[in-house]
Chains A and B, each alone.
Chain A
């Protein structure tokens, strides 16, 4: 008996693989979207390679004495 090129098994496997692929893609999109929301809702981000703005204006000697 010759194998059919598209057996019912192939259709079932395709459906299953298609479903899993769709779910994985949706998961990636959700994690990305969630990350964007979390970052946008977070405190303003400042790098640690400079003096933060608030400290420069209040605590530093330059900020305390430079202005007449």
Chain B
């Protein structure tokens, strides 16, 4: 074997990913949602942080989310390699070694928690540590492969960022922070089950016990409606608190009416009709669910921005 030969192999071998591959390891799309909701949680809080502290808080919350994403990719590499949607991720595609993903995940977890503590307070850092643990261990390692309720309980991990943002600013948990948590927590099941309805074959192949795989699509449609009904009171309640106001209430009423209508249509549809039109309604419901969450948090933010001018709030 010549040196040149080994050199050429190392060029395409594992552990030689580009900088972008390591960024992909942190799930930047998920991070963008985390940044947005955490920022809203921080900005609607009644206590103002210095801009540098606020920037640091958001940065390290996002970094913590990225760390849990890297740990998720390390553990789920076998599942990701089977599913078409995730095959191109850095670990299953071989551009980043699993050990690297684990190392980066652990290192960034420690760094983000420690830095959030130094930048803000211990409670915010503890919540971030718990979120990383919950997503990486409780959801990824345990719930995801074990129960069709994986999305329901695992949704808590994605629901913590606005609460952490709030706690970073105020130092304590209050009703508003709990309601922002509950909004994302209750929104997650209908959002992901709508997705599962039209990419079911991927979950079947990977043997992930999604509700569509274990209980069928009819049951999933029922679940979407029930969880939508359970979701609706949460944003309406949040709109009545100190982070809400007339604008938030109007937005919440409109968005939840549309969301409920979508859930009812999905509930009434049968599989033949859905397959015939390529899951058009389910795809639209899924896309709208993203807008739903974005607009709710946007309304909280708008309310806080209008308050100094005497418009926002009750």
Contacts and interface: CB of A to CB of B under 8 A. Distances in A.
B4 A9 contact: no
Interface in B8-65: 8, 10-11, 16-19, 22, 50, 52-53, 56, 59
Interface string A1-12: 111000111001
Contacts of B4: 1-3
A30 B56 contact: yes
B226 interface: no
B118 interface: yes
Contact of B52 (A9, A13, A37): A37
Contacts of B18: 12, 15-16
- Size category of the A interface is 10 to 19
B235 to A, nearest CB: 34
Contacts, number: 38
A34 B49 CA distance: 12
Contacts of A8: 11
Nearest to B118: A34
Chain B contact residues: over half helix, strand or loop, or mixed?
helix
A50 interface: no
B56 A16 contact: no
B81 interface: no
B11 A37 contact: no
B127 interface: no
Contacts of A33: 52
Contacts of B7: 3, 7
B247 interface: no
21 contacts: A1-B8, A2-B4, A7-B11, A12-B16, A12-B17, A12-B18, A13-B16, A15-B18, A15-B19, A16-B18, A16-B19, A16-B22, A19-B19, A19-B22, A30-B56, A30-B59, A33-B52, A34-B118, A34-B119, A37-B53, A41-B50
Interface of A: 1-3, 7-9, 12-13, 15-16, 18-20, 30, 33-34, 37, 41
